[in-house]
Amino acid sequence: MRLATFNLLHGMSPADGRVDLDRFAAAVRSLDADVLALQEVDRGQPRSHRADLTALAAEAAGATDARFAPAMTGGPGVWRAALGPVRGVPQYGIALVSRHPVTAWDVWRLPRRRTWTREPGSRLPRPRRDEPRVALVAHVDAPEGRLTVVATHLAYLRGHSGQQLAYLRDRVADLPRPLVLLGDLNLGLPGVLETSGLRTLADVPTFPGHAPRTQIDHVLVDGPVEAVSPARAVDTGVSDHRALVVDVTLG
């Protein structure tokens, strides 16, 4: 079974600054993933042609199940926390698409906290909060057995991502194993392993996409799930991240 996580930058290619929906679909198709976690996913946003990127990804992947979990409603500059999916309203969040049936879904809202930052040219720090973040939980009925998948995109503000990962560590403790945590965690591998208590199946730089120097996208596991070959960071031609792909077997 192939797992992948991909921060798709709402489908934009930094090479030309454009969102080309056919190019995005081709990028997803090229990953050939059975279970694919997506971050920075638009639905109904003008910048991505008001498309439902989750639906496009599901079609391109040949998925039987898919779910979009909005973190925010509105558009850039006027975001507000999303209370749930709303048709016809621009939203932004994460998604999971699966070629195997998903028997149950859940969405968790992650903790937020305020920090103080000093803007360029300002003498005094100002309070700032990271954007709302969510995690999407899927119980996947794969041919090799059941797999619990948690997909997320953690905060980029210093200290916040670690706090959210610790929250997830505690929250997933009672979920069925084997378990995999996929996503852009905005943390390097040493910090991820120390905080999560999970194992990694991928140790390869993913960011920035044109010349990766660091790994902030991760595939973490607990229980009987193992990689059958080294993980790969794939340049899809879309996004400022490389997609992270790993083939696994379930015990």
Please give the DSSP secondary-structure letter assigned to residue 156.
Answer: -
Residue 10 has pLDDT above 90, yes or no: yes
Q: Return the structure tokens found at 144.
A: 């090799």
Residue whose token pair is 């995109």: 153
Long-range contacts of 112-119 (CB under 8 A, 24+ apart): 112/155, 112/160, 113/160, 113/163, 115/157, 115/158, 115/159, 115/160, 117/157
Parallel/antiparallel/unpaired status of strands 199-200 and 179-184: unpaired
CA–CA separation, 89 vs 224, rounded Å?
Answer: 41
Share of residues in the chain with pLDDT > 70 (%) = 94
Q: pLDDT for 78-121, tens place per residue?
A: 888 897 888 889 999 999 999 999 999 999 999 987 665 656 66
Q: What is the pLDDT of residue 158?
A: 77
Specify the pLDDT at position 126. Answer: 67
Nearest to 202 by CA among 184, 186, 187, 217: 217
* 25-75 pLDDT, tens digit each: 999 999 999 999 999 999 999 999 999 999 999 999 999 999 999 999 998
Residue-averaged pLDDT of the chain: 94
When pLDDT is averaged across residues 139-167 and rounded to a whole number, the result is 95
Percent of residues, the chain, with pLDDT higher than 90: 85
Q: Tell me what pLDDT residue 87 has.
A: 81
Q: In this structure, which amino acid lies at residue 135? A: A
**Count of Cβ atoms closer than 10 Å to residue 236 Cβ:** 20
**Is the pLDDT confidence value at 235 over 70?**
yes
Above 80 in pLDDT, residue 127?
A: no
Average pLDDT in the 20-27 region?
98
Beta-carbon contacts of residue 54 (< 8 Å; ≥ 6 apart): 38, 41, 43, 66, 67, 68, 95, 97
Q: Under CATH, which architecture does the 2-250 domain have?
A: 4-Layer Sandwich (3.60)
Query: Tens of pLDDT along 205-214?
Result: 999 999 999 9
Q: Model-level pTM?
A: 0.94
Scanning the chain, the segments in alpha helix (DSSP H) are: 21-31, 53-61, 160-171, 189-196
Strands 2-7 and 35-43 come out as parallel
- What mean pLDDT is predicted for residues 136-152? 97
Domain positions in the chain: 2-250
